[in-house]
């Protein structure tokens, strides 16, 4: 059985039971659907994207108030007088989405720059302010709210009854889950998954992470606004209370309890919290002999318990149990049909052409000069090695020439273009591929998925196309290209394996495959042979030689001298940030300063 079959079974069961359920159960299901619509946005934003928001309730409010205003205000009636009344709610929806997108984009542009705990604090701030704005605007009825909101109608058909409106709610929820699932399993989805823990890495693969963060933020806000729109037409009445910070925390709670990284976790979380709230609101006042919102305290304790016991929420526990019945799609099936679309191809420059030039690159960290006027040129079709003792400044130099950091002084040019001040994704765009000394992979994702991120820039399908599965041919081509590089690097047997479960040496090779998937003109490798066994080093050397034959420029930092001396065409030696020697392996090995730097020890 596939996961798809399970989802279909769930939908069929829900549909079959729908007309038989008690009105009370239907109302409860409507609320669960509304909450899940918000929570699923939070799963994307917080669980997948790593941005915590306590303020989603405010976006629900925007969606609700927009339609409430359109449907009841005399001003709106004046403007829209020529239209039938039944159209107003739909105009309310459009207005709600527009206003929400605009406000979310503006808020995101300000708050998403905040790092660490400041982002959640920022969301609390705007969650509170939007609540008070709703309460203090007289056109929105102040804290009393707006009454007499009409029910939804579609082609003259009234959706007043929860049993009818519920169908729309759940249809929209399932549609959202379908679209988000598609998005997560696409080229853009790989970039989104990297936002949480791999931003620096993703930028080096050519991903504009700031842009993806804003888009994700707006997407989550839009889902909340749709929920608010439905809510307003279900309640037929809005006031600021359901959009306050408390409820914002509850939404986050649903996403976290359900399973912050899993779309269906939102449905699970919304169900559990809604049912629990029902029970607690009855039971707690009786138990405690006083009335009040005591359930908030119970929720808080419960959240602590879940985070202690099942940090990823409850969905993975359930999914682990279901996995016994579900088959995953193997990589080779995803790759099938990869020939239909051509990915972007790069014309490699002729051998001998200068690809990268560092001119007097200097980097100071406070008092420390990590790079001191380092000159280097790397040409197409050559392997250039950068060696030096620990702390000599090799990794710092890599960061200078790959756009991760800017030199304090001096200049770097790539393909003849001056690159000072350009972000690393523009280096990637010009053909620079790199690996990291401290491996940066998405550990829980498969090797195939990790390598495919390297080909990000070679595809073009965006978020909407991915959601609607219009990207399938391109996605197959991206995966096929990733698979080619995986096989070429000798990792074919582990393509479906989670990257973190490989030995560290192999993870380094995965990083090389990822860099190759971007079809680079120059490859920067920071200690690629560390952790490899002898035979693995030999096959790595063979691969690098083959890449050199194909015309790549390769710059490698490596401690294994035997590996370097047998492989490199030219070597630059760094000590205390300064170049102390430069030349062929034979020249460098004979250099007195180099021998002194290495104490004559391991230069053999
Ligand atoms: P290598 O890769 O050759 O071992 P690095 O480039 O990592 O050396 O480090 C060179 C020197 O710069 C070291 O003394 C290191 O402590 C220092 N250094 C590196 N990065 C930073 C940083 N972000 N802030 C302060 N000092 C740094
Ligand atoms: Mg280093």
Place of tokens 């950068």: 386
**393, 434, 598, best to mutate for ligand 1 pocket (most atoms within 8 Å of CB):** 393
- Tokens representing 452? 């495919």
Alpha helices in 444-524 (DSSP H): 447-454, 463-467, 472-488, 504-517
Looking at the CA of 397, which ligand is closest?
Answer: 1
Distance (Å, rounded) from C-alpha 405 to C-alpha 12?
A: 54
User: Which regions of the chain are under pLDDT 50?
Assistant: 604
473-504 exposure pattern, b = at least 16 Cβ within 10 A, e = fewer: ebbbbbbbbbbbbbeebbbeebbebbbeebee
Ligand 1 atom index nearest CA of 437: 2
pTM score of the predicted model: 0.92
User: Could you tell me the distance, in angstroms and rounded to a whole number, from the CA of residue 365 to the centre of ligand 1?
Assistant: 8
Ligand 1 atom index nearest CA of 398: 6
Q: Is the CB of 438 under 6 A from ligand 1?
A: no
**370, 530, 556, best to mutate for ligand 1 pocket (most atoms within 8 Å of CB):** 370
Are the C-beta atoms of 234 and 180 separated by less than 8 Å? no
**200, 361, 367, 368, best to mutate for ligand 1 pocket (most atoms within 8 Å of CB):** 368
Place of tokens 């890495």: 201
Q: Give the pLDDT confidence score for residue 300 in this predicted structure.
A: 78
Ligand 1 atom index nearest CA of 393: 6
Helix axes 263-288, 315-322, angle to 10 degrees: 120
Distance (Å, rounded) from C-alpha 450 to C-alpha 511?
A: 8
Q: In what order do the strands lie in the sheet with 432-434?
A: 432-434, 522-526, 553-557, 383-387, 570-575, 578-583
Q: Give the pLDDT confidence score for residue 604 in this predicted structure.
A: 44
Q: Give the pLDDT confidence score for residue 28 in this predicted structure.
A: 95
Instruction: Tell how strand 417-418 and strand 432-434 pair up.
Output: unpaired
Are the C-beta atoms of 123 and 52 separated by less than 8 Å? yes
Nearest CA to ligand 1 atom 20: 396
- Under DSSP, is residue 78 helix (H, G, I), strand (E, B) or coil? helix
Are the C-beta atoms of 500 and 446 separated by less than 8 Å? no
Q: What are the structural domains, with CATH classification, of the chain?
A: 3-322 (1.10.3470), 354-430+527-599 (3.40.50.300)
């Amino acid at each position: 059985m596939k996961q798809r079959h399970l989802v279909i079974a769930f939908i069929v069961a829900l549909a079959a039971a729908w007309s038989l359920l008690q009105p009370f159960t239907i109302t409860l299901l409507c609320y669960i659907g509304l909450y899940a619509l918000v929570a699923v946005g939070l799963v994307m934003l917080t669980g997948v994207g790593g941005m915590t928001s306590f303020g989603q309730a405010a976006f629900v409010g925007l969606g609700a108030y927009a339609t409430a205003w359109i449907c009841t205000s005399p001003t709106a009636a004046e403007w829209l007088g020529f239209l039938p009344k039944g159209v107003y709610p739909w105009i309310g929806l459009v207005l709600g989405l527009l206003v929400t997108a605009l406000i979310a984009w503006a808020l995101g542009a300000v708050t998403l720059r905040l790092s660490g705990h400041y982002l959640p604090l920022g969301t609390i701030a705007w969650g509170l302010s939007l609540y008070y704005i709703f309460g203090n605007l007289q056109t929105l009825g102040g804290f009393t709210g707006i009454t007499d909101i009409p029910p939804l109608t579609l082609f003259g058909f009234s959706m007043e009854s929860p049993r009818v409106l519920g169908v729309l709610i759940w249809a929209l929820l399932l549609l959202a889950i379908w679209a988000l699932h598609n998005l997560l399993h696409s080229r853009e989805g790989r970039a989104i998954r990297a936002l949480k823990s791999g931003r620096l890495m993703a930028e080096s693969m050519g991903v504009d992470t700031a842009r993806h963060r804003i888009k994700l933020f707006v997407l989550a806000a839009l889902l909340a606004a749709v929920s608010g729109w439905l809510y307003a037409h279900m309640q037929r009445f809005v006031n600021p209370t359901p959009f306050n910070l408390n409820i914002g925390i509850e939404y986050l709670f649903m996403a976290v309890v359900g399973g912050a990284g899993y779309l269906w976790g939102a449905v699970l979380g919304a169900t559990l919290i809604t049912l629990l709230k029902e029970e607690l609101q009855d039971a707690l006042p009786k138990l405690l002999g006083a009335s009040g919102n005591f359930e908030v305290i119970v929720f808080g304790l419960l959240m602590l318990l879940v985070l202690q016991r099942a940090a990823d929420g409850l969905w993975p526990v359930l999914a682990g149990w279901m996995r016994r019945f579900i088959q995953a799609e193997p990589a080779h099936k995803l790759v099938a049909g990869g020939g239909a679309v051509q990915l972007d191809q790069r014309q490699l420059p002729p051998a001998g052409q200068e690809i990268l030039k560092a001119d007097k690159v200097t980097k100071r960290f406070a008092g420390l000069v990590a790079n001191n006027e380092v000159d280097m040129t790397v040409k197409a079709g050559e392997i250039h090695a950068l060696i030096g003792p620990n702390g000599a400044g090799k990794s710092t130099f890599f960061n200078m020439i790959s756009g991760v950091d800017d030199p304090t002084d001096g200049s770097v040019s790539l393909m003849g273009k001056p690159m000072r001040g350009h972000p690393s994704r523009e280096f990637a765009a010009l053909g620079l591929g790199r690996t990291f000394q401290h491996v940066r992979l998405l550990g829980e994702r498969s090797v195939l998925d990790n390598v495919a991120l390297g080909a990000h820039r070679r595809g073009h399908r965006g978020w909407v196309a991915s959601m609607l599965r219009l990207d399938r041919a391109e996605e197959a081509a991206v995966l096929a290209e990733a698979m080619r590089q995986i096989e070429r690097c000798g990792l074919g047997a582990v393509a479906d394996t989670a990257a973190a479960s490989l030995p560290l040496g192999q993870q380094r090779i995965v990083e090389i495959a990822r860099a190759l998937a971007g079809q680079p003109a120059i490859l920067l490798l920071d200690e690629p042979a560390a952790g490899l066994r002898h035979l693995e080093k030999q096959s790595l050397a063979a691969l690098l030689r083959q890449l050199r034959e194909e015309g790549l420029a390769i710059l490698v930092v490596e401690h294994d001298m035997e590996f370097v001396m047998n492989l490199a065409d030219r070597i630059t030696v760094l000590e205390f940030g300064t170049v102390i020697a430069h030349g062929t392996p034979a020249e460098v090995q004979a250099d007195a300063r180099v021998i002194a730097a290495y104490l004559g020890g391991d230069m053999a």
